[in-house]
Amino acid sequence: MLFQSTQGYGSGNLYYEGAGLVSAEVSGVVNDFGTCLFANGSVCAGTGNPDTAAVSGTGYANGHPHILTFKRTESAGQISLYMDGSHVGNVVGGTESLTAPNELVLGAQQVMDNYFTGDIAEVQIYNAPLADSDRVGEENALECKYGVSGGTTPAVPTGLTGTVGNREISLNWVLVTGATGYNLWRSTNNGASYQEIATALTTSSYVDTTAINGLTNYYTVAVTDGCGASANSAAVGVFLPLPAFWL
């Protein structure tokens, strides 16, 4: 999630004792979870049964936007807290599935107290822990989208391949985490110049039905996100034979 605040609330070392950011806190011994911001600017994230939380250092109520990532691996009970892409807290809690409550509260605790003062720009929730490479990609995308210092241009796509079909060429490449789209170029003069043939593609594949028969068609692809566009990938050349004629 991305938030901005100049004022936290309360103190402690559990996720329901401060100003609620994303709260699924339920009273009693239940498999709940939540995040909060304390008055000293530290951030807390954790789970219930038993109540366990990771707490960051201070300074995150400074009026600047910050990216909070709370990762919990159920099988190990591992709770990891990241702020602005850096690991700031780690603790081991229970291994039960998180089941409560039926709804989340943003900007307060679940019982509608400990209100948050500030802005919450975006919250993303996944049903499985992200691999570190995916987490970094999503954090970078948020940095770029909201102009947070540290965002970098996206990685160059890899693995571009082409397969010949019936008067067409099927192209595939490796997905880039955090990408918002892909732009594809083609050259029919041995790579001396390229023309853009598709923009804002949302998948890592494309079928070029306008490929030139009897020539080697060269392709390159770039990825776009909130920070802009990557450099173009390594080119791949695919020869498309002339159609066969039968008498």
Examine domains 2-146 and 161-240 and report if their fold is the same. no
- Among the CATH numbers 3.40.50.1980, 3.40.50.2300, 1.10.260.40, 2.60.120.200, which is that of 2-146? 2.60.120.200
Q: How confident is the model at residue 192 (pLDDT cuts 50, 70, 90)?
A: very high
CA-based nearest residue to 21, from 37, 38, 42, 5: 37
State how far Cα 48 lies from the chain centre.
26
CATH architecture under which domain 161-240 falls: Sandwich (2.60)
Domain ranges, ordered by start, for the chain: 2-146, 161-240
Quote the CA–CA distance of 34 and 100 in Å, as a whole number.
11
pLDDT digits (tens, 9 = 90+) for 2-33: 999 999 999 999 999 999 999 999 888 899 99
For residue 153, the 8-state DSSP code is P
pTM tops 0.85, yes or no: no
Helix, coil or strand: residue 4: strand
Extract the tokens encoding 65: 């936007």
- pLDDT of 150 reads 65
Query: SS3 string of 173-194?
Result: CCCCCCCCEEEEEEECCCCCCC
Confidence of residue 143 (pLDDT cuts 50, 70, 90): confident
Q: How large is the C-alpha radius of gyration of the chain? A: 24
Tens digit of pLDDT for each residue in 60-95? 999 999 999 999 999 999 999 999 989 999 999 999
Token digits of residue 12: 């402690």
